[in-house]
Chains A and B, each alone.
Chain A
Amino acid sequence: GAVVSQHPSWVICKSGTSVKIECRSLDFQATTMFWYRQFPKQSLMLMATSNEGSKATYEQGVEKDKFLINHASLTLSTLTVTSAHPEDSSFYICSARVPGLAGGPGDTQYFGPGTRLTVL
């Protein structure tokens, strides 16, 4: 299957600092990437949909000024948590859709390994 990487896998930062998380599609070009947040023992919560070369579409309740998403190339999307606070501590997961014809593997999302963010 397609491979999606995420970096860093784990980050600890002080309150008030900004943290950038990178998501890369390694063996395919992803026109669309998705960012999720997951709390312990819960399902994935969609934060935003990121399209290459355009502004991200944020879900209701997600602060776009706090969670900056940039999808500058077909293989890279970044999530920057600005002025992080302890309540932003969570597990962040990116996902990329393999492009292709309808009904083919292009309708499947592959996930990165996730980034555990701890804000002190």
Chain B
Amino acid sequence: AQTVTQSQPEMSVQEAETVTLSCTYDTSESDYYLFWYKQPPSRQMILVIRQEAYKQQNATENRFSVNFQKAAKSFSLKISDSQLGDAAMYFCAYRSAWSGNTPLVFGKGTRLSVIA
């Protein structure tokens, strides 16, 4: 079974600075998807960014980018120019590409605080 590990339960960053959240995963599959979801205090899960395993290019969405290292099974999220609204719980997630019924496998999350 696949597992996702987020080794940083909590992180903090100064407003306008850059922070990197770590995520590693374990799988024997070669084709899969990786995601970062954000859960603010409202508890609505929001998709931040996704990465297809077959793509070597790292995904980028505005201030959010990932460092995807397939061989190392690492998928870190970098947030640039941090804003107060970035304060949230961040979950790394894995999904097999083999079946549409396969659910996401989540890490335990990293709570990010943004300091003004």
Using a CB–CB cutoff of 8 Å, the interface residues on chain A facing chain B are 1, 31-32, 34, 38, 42-44, 46, 49, 51, 57, 91, 93, 95, 97, 99, 102-103, 106-111, 113-114
Select from chain B the residue with minimum beta-carbon distance to A113: B44
A-side contacts of B109, CB under 8 Å = 42-43
- Which residues of B sit under 8 angstroms from A31, Cβ to Cβ? 100
A111, B97: Cβ atoms under 8 Å? no
Residue B75 is within 8 A (CB to CB) of chain A in the complex: no
Q: Do the beta carbons of B91 and A43 come within 8 Å of each other? A: yes
- Complex Cα–Cα for A97 and B96 (A): 13
Of all chain A residues, which has the CB nearest B42? A113
Contact of B47 with A110 in the complex, beta carbons under 8 Å: yes
Closest-CB distance, B90 to chain A (whole angstroms) = 11
* Interface assignment of B11: CB less than 8 Å from any CB of chain A: no
Provide the main secondary structure of the chain A interface: strand
Closest 3 A/B residue pairs (Cβ): A111-B45, A113-B44, A43-B106
- Chain B 86-101 near chain A by CB (<8 Å), digits 1 or 0: 0000010001010011
Pairwise interchain contact B35-A108, C-beta atoms closer than 8 A: yes
Known: A95-B45, A95-B104, A103-B97. 5 other contacts (CB 8 A): A31-B100, A42-B109, A57-B101, A107-B100, A111-B45
Residue among A32, A107, A114 making CB contact with B44, cutoff 8 Å:
A114
- Which residues does chain A contribute within 8 Å of B35, judged by CB atoms? 108
- Contacting pair B101 A108 (CB below 8 A): no
